[in-house]
Amino acid sequence: MAQKTTTQKATDAARAVASNPYLRRLIEDEELRRNIRDAFDAVRGAGQRIYEEPSPARAIFDDRKIQDELRNAAETLRDASDQLRGRKQKRSFGVGKAILIAIVGAVLVLVLSETARRAVLDLIFGAEEEFEYTSTPAPENASVPSA
Q: How far apart are the first and last CA of the chain?
A: 134
- pLDDT for residue 1: 47
Compute and round to an integer the Cα radius of gyration of the chain.
37
pTM of the model: 0.46
Residue 105 one-letter amino acid: G
Alpha carbon separation from 133 to 76, 128, 136 (Å, rounded) = 71, 15, 10
Q: Where are the domains of the chain?
A: 17-85, 95-125
Residue type, 110: L
Coil/strand/helix, residue 105: helix
Tens digit of each residue's pLDDT (9 = 90 or more) over 8-55: 888 888 888 778 787 888 888 888 888 888 888 888 888 888 888 888
